[in-house]
Amino acid sequence: MTEMDPQSFLPLKPQWFHILLSLASGEQHGYAIMQDVLNRTTGKIRLWPATLYGSIKRLIEAGLIEASDERPAPELDDARRRYYRLTSLGKRVLDAECDRLQELVRTIRLKQTMVPE
């Protein structure tokens, strides 16, 4: 099977970026992803269930994330929850998007220093 080029996914849709970023620290279920994004963006970005689960479906189809079979202890978990994790391709795509965004910020800062006052 031919390895996908992470660059082919860029630029990422904002909701895809935030979901991948949430999963960078480990497996999470959907509600935890929603809360992580909301907290990390101090309420500026809210992933509603339809957006979140539609995006998760497409991220799985693209091979960027996968459902996990591993579960926390039953007393710490709700059996209805599905957990998700990054695939190796998903990690490479997230890294490539972070590099792209860092370069964009560098370009913006360079341009700002060139603007006459």
Mean pLDDT over residues 73-80, rounded? 63
Identify the helix (H) or strand (E) that includes residue 67: strand 65-68
Across the chain, what does the average pLDDT equal? 91
CATH code at 7-114:
1.10.10.10
Residue 36: CB atoms within 10 A of its CB come to: 18
pTM score: 0.88
Q: What does the alpha-carbon distance between residue 59 and residue 47 come to, in Å, rounded to a whole number? A: 15
Position 115 pLDDT exceeds 80: no
DSSP, collapsed to helix, strand or coil, labels residue 22 as helix
pLDDT score for 77? 63
